[in-house]
A and B are shown apart, each in its own frame.
Chain A
Amino acid sequence: MKLRHISARVLLCLPLLLVSAAKADTFILVNKDAGFGSMDKEQVKKVFLGKAKQWDNGVPVNACLEEADDAALSAFYKDYLGKSPSAYQAYWNRLLFSGKGVPPQTFGTIEEITAFVRVTKGAICFATVAGNIPENVVVLK
């Protein structure tokens, strides 16, 4: 998989609605050390299904999910990963328990998500954000 390298100075971009949810906008947030500013759906899928453990620049992938409202998370699973929540669980059960990989971490609040993304090299997280996008966090197109 080739992930695009884009200068950090052009990484910050206007927030873009990735998934519509009833209550809040949803985004994929990325630590700047990941070294890119956009991904297509196939690349997002590889990251959240454990097929990519490293970015092209050698920085490890650290994926996480916000424990968002059911509709938002279900829409993310379906639109980007092609799975229902139970199918996502079943998929990761096989990988995790066979020793093949570790599923994305989950966090309960956007504050925990943004704190994780800010300080964790190669972090990429799905989150819902109501209001302003936090600083020092890249929002993917």
Chain B
Amino acid sequence: MPDRKWLLRATLMIFPFLLSQSGHAANWDKVSMNGYFSFEYEKTFEGDKEEDTNGSFDLDLIDLVFNINATDKLRIATDLTWEHGSASEDGRGNVAVEYAFAEYTINNLLRVKAGKMFTHFGIYNEIHTAKPANLTIKEPLSTNKNNKFGSDIRFYPRWLTGVALTGDGDLGGWGFDYDLQLSNGETEDDGANPFEEDDNPHKAFNGRVRLTPMEGMRVGFSFYDDAMQDPDNDGERFELSSYGVQVEYDTYDSCGVEFEYIVGTVDMTAVSSGEIDRDALSLMLFYHLNDRLIPYIRYESLEPNDDVDDDEAMKTIAGLNWMVDQNMYLKFEVDQVQTRKNNDKFEGADFTEFKASLSIGF
């Protein structure tokens, strides 16, 4: 396995050169390269939990995004990432394929995709690493990283490998777009790679539809369903299902809103004991002071298990997004976390962090 990881990292490093050295030389008119860069600083300055009291700089990531128009109807897209100062010799950082898929356009209403993709759910999952595409420094923990906020398992996996249908259209004057994905899902088995094989016959099925009823507003509904193998109970599966609603409103000249609410169930009946019902929300308000300055506040809350008292986690952030130059953003934030005593991750700790970041899109 270590040899395969080294090979993957080496391949990702020289990917642009491989393109030009292939048997069919690349036509660079068909290839576009973009990307984004993120550099961060954070320090915990108050509270019970010592997340980072030293204050740390972080070369968060640099991503290269390639789009190749192989034919008039066929696009290959990939996002390659190098995170936290990747240094494979020392086992530091991370090198990964965020997504790599082929997309064939049949018409505007129907495009077919195959490969590794972000899970199309909610507002933030597809843009959680693309820091220039987000007002805030990090995505909400409650709805998007609940396993780091007190839940045992996420509402849905970050990435999926499989096939998908997607498209855009109009319905009665409302614009809409949709995504449907059929995939291997995720796995709890550390030895299995869900981007290569499915560890059980049950395929994950998820989707999202977003409606644009008026200029600047978008409403969306998402669902995710999968059965996963429990590595501690051979042959037994538990079922993961989640449902989400989202509202986005932004006319780019005054107030704006981003709201997500997710409910989910982890059905452990076949494995051990009953169901775990959980839910989470994230609500952000922001205001365009002018074309460059956008202050924001966000409130998040997570209920990891309805049947367990005092396990909730809440987070409130207040920050400022400053577009210093075209597609170059400085962000400054104060994040306050409050948790209850039975929260699995923080065990009742409350703490406050200061964060700053530089995000650049290119």
- Chain A positions within 8 Å of B, measured between CB atoms, are 1, 51-54, 58-60, 82-87, 89-90, 93-94, 96-100, 102, 105, 121-122
Contacts and interface: CB of A to CB of B under 8 A. Distances in A.
Contact of B117 (A94, A99, A102): A99
Top 6 closest pairs, chain A to chain B, by CB: A97-B130, A98-B126, A87-B252, A93-B133, A60-B72, A94-B133
Contacts of A84: 252-253, 291
A86 B170 CA distance: 26
B105 A93 contact: no
Contacts of B252: 83-84, 86-87, 90
A100 B326 contact: no
B105 A53 contact: yes
Main secondary structure of the interface of A (DSSP, over half): loop
B253 to A, nearest CB: 8
A1 B252 CA distance: 26
B108 A54 contact: yes
Given A52-B108, A53-B105, A60-B105, A98 B73 contact: no
A97 B108 contact: no
B107 A93 contact: no
Contacts of B199: none
B79 interface: yes
A97 B132 contact: yes
B67 interface: yes
Contact of A93 (B79, B170, B292, B361): B361
B215 interface: yes
Interface in B118-155: 118, 126-127, 129-130, 132-133
Interface string B20-43: 000000000000101010000000
Contacts of A52: 108, 168
A86 B253 CA distance: 11
16 contacts: A1-B169, A51-B168, A82-B215, A84-B252, A93-B36, A93-B130, A93-B132, A93-B133, A94-B133, A96-B34, A97-B63, A97-B65, A97-B127, A99-B101, A99-B118, A102-B32
